[in-house]
Amino acid sequence: MRCIVLSLLLFTVAALQGSPLAQTGTYFNPRDDQFKLLGLKRGLDAYNIARADYERQKELFEKGLSSRADLERAERTYRDAEVNYQQSFLAVIYERRYIAIERAIKAQRADGTRRVKLTLANMTSGTSDIKRLLNIEEGLYALVQPDIINDIYVSLMNDQGAIISQPYEIKVEALKVGEPATIDFNLLQDVDVATVRLIFAQNQDQKKIYFQKDASANRVAIVAEQFSQEAPLASTATFRLRMELFSSAENTFRLEVVNLPLQLNTYFQDPQTQARITQLKYTEGVNTKNVSLNVLLPTRANEELKIDQPIKFYVLAVPQGSDIRVDRSKTITDEQVRGWSVGFTRLELVPRGIGQFLIRAQQLYYEINPGQNVTMTLDVVNEGSRWLDNVRIDADVPLNWTKVIEPNTIDRLDPTTERRIAFTFTPPQEVGVGKYDIRIRVTGRSDNQPLEAEPRTATIQVVPTANILGTAVVVLLIIGLVVGIVVFGIRLARR
C-alpha cells in the first residue's frame, strides 16, 4: 500500500514538473506589476511550494524512489521561484524608498562666498510591516537592508539645468532610516531657488526648493554687480546692489556710505519705483532686495578728487536698533568696519575726465575782390575736465585755393585753456565771381578716445572789381541830365 502511495506521489510531482505551475511556481498575474505587495505574496507562496517540492524530491532521491533528472527539475523550479520571489521583494522595497530634504540652509562665509547645507533623510517606511506580515526570512531581510539607501549622488542645478554646486556632485555612501545626513556645498551661482538632483538605486529624483537663510549671522549680505566703476566728471555713477537678509532678529536696516569725499553727493534708489530711500525693510517671505546707489560727480577735480585716482569706500546696512553713527567727514578703517559686525561691501570709483572742444569765431563771412586773400582767426577752447592731446586743425578749401594755418597742431590743451589759430586763404588768380565755402575741422584725443569738434564753415564771397571811369561817366551824365531838367524848368516858368 505504501508503495502505491509513493508511486502516485511521484506521478503527481512529475506531472507538476511538466506544467507551467511547476516551471514558474505560479501563474503570472498582470496585476502583479501594479500591486507589487500582492505580487510579492504570490511569489512567496510559489517559493514555499517549490522549496517543499524540492526537499521532497531530494528525500525521495536519497531513498532511491526518484531519478536524478526529477531531482534536477525540482531544483530548477525551486531556484526560479526563489529568484522571482527575491525580485518581487526588491521591487516592493525599492518602490517604498524615499529621500526627503529636511533642510537647505544658505549662509555667507567671511570671505563673501555662499554655501548651502543640505540635510537628507531616508523616509523609507513599511519595511518592518512587510517583514511581519509576510514572514520574510531574516537572512534575506538582512541582505537587502531595506532601511538603508546606498550610493546617493547629490547635486544642485539652476533653472537651465546647469550644476551650480561645488563640488559638482557629492556621494552619500549610506543613508539609514532615522539618521539624516548633512552635506555642504559651495554655490557657484548666487541663487535663492535651486533644483536638488538625487540619483540612487537606478532612480533619479529632482526637487525644486527655496533656500532657507542662516539667521544666526544677523546681518544683510551686500553683493555689487560691478564693485569697481569708472565715471567721467559731471556724470552719475550707479552701483547696483543685491541685499540678502541673514537675520531673524531685525528686518529694518539703515543704509550708509563711508569714506567717500563730501563733494560727491549720494543717494539710494529703489530700481523699480525710482523712489529715493534711506532704509530697507524686509517683509515676511522676502529676503532679497535690489537697491541702486547713485554717486554724483562734480564738474571739476581738486586735491581730494583727482583724475584717475581710485576712491575706495563702503556701503553699510546697519540694523535699525544699532547705535552706530557714521560721520562722512572721518575716514573709517577696514578693521573698524569689520568690527561693527554689520553687512557691508567695498566699492571703488575711478573719476575720469573728458576733454571737450569749444570753437569761437568773431566772423565767418567775408567779401573779397579777385586777387585778394582772406585772413581770419578762431579760438580753440578746452572746456572739458581733462586735457586734450594731439589737437589737429585743418580746412577743406575749394579747388586750387591755398591755405596757411598757424599753428595746425597743438600737442596738449589743458582744461579751461584756449589757443588762437590764424588762417590765411588765397584764391587762384582766375577765380570766378561767386560764393565759396571753407569747412574748418578740429580733432584731437582725450583719454585715448578720439574727439572731434563741430565743424565751422567760413563763407567767402568773391565780387567783381568796380570800373571807376565808367562809373564817373555815368555820374556825370546823371548830373548833366539833372542840371538840364532844372534849367529847362526855370525857362519854362519865366515864360
pLDDT digits 0-9 by tens, 17-46: 333 333 344 445 555 555 555 666 777 778
- The SS3 call for residue 334 is helix
pLDDT score for 232? 86
- pLDDT given at position 208: 92
| Sequence-separated (6 or more) residues with CB below 8 Å from residue 344 | 222, 314, 315, 316, 317, 337
Give Cβ neighbours of residue 102 (< 8 Å, ≥ 6 apart). 119, 120, 121, 180
Cβ atoms within 10 A of the Cβ of 103, count? 15
d(CA 405, CA 471) in angstroms, rounded, equals 39
Contact 225, 240 (CB under 8 A): yes
Position of cell 588765397?
426
Output the pLDDT for position 438.
94
Higher pLDDT, 146 or 453: 453
CA distance 486 to 212: 115
The predicted structure's pLDDT at residue 1 = 36
With a threshold of 0.75, does the pTM exceed it?
no
- Express each pLDDT in 214-227 by its tens digit: 766 678 888 888 88
Lowest mean pLDDT, pick from 105-114, 172-181, 195-204: 105-114
Summarised one tens digit per residue, pLDDT across range 314-324 is 999 998 878 88
Q: Kindly report the length of the chain.
A: 495
Residue where the block lists cell 552619500: 172
Cell numbers describing residue 320: 535699525
Q: So what's the pLDDT on residue 14? A: 37
Mean pLDDT of 46-53: 84
> What is the CB neighbour count within 10 angstroms for residue 456?
16
Give the list of residues 6+ apart from residue 77 with CB closer than 8 angstroms, or none: 17, 22, 23, 25, 50, 53, 54
DSSP-assigned letter for residue 163: B
For residue 240, name the pLDDT band (cuts at 50, 70, 90). Answer: very high
Average pLDDT over residues 348-360: 89
Tell me how far apart the alpha carbons of residues 208 and 159 are, in angstroms, rounded to a whole number.
Answer: 9
Mind listing the pLDDT tens digit for each residue in 403-448?
Answer: 999 999 999 998 889 999 999 999 998 888 899 999 999 999 988 8
Helix axes 36-62, 68-95, angle to 10 degrees: 160
Question: 335-356 burial, b for 16+ CB within 10 Å, e for fewer?
Answer: eebeebebbbbbbebebbbbbb
Q: Which of residues 95 and 472 earns the better pLDDT score?
A: 472
Cite the DSSP H helix spans in 243-302.
none
Q: From 159, 158, 186, select the one nearest 170 (Cα to Cα).
A: 186
Cell numbers standing for residue 95:
518602490
Q: Confirm if 86 and 39 have CB atoms less than 8 A apart.
A: no
The owner of cell 530711500 is 277
Task: Give ∠ CA 192-248-193 in degrees, rounded to 5.
Answer: 10
Grid coordinates given for 83: 529568484
pLDDT score of 130: 58
Q: What is the pLDDT of residue 391?
A: 94
Per-residue confidence (pLDDT) for residue 390, from 0 to 100:
93
Percent of the chain with pLDDT over 90: 34
> What is the SS3 assignment for 490?
helix
For residue 129, pLDDT over 70 is answered with: no
Q: For residue 347, is pLDDT > 70?
A: yes
Q: Among 2-16, 356-370, 457-471, whose mean pLDDT is lowest? A: 2-16
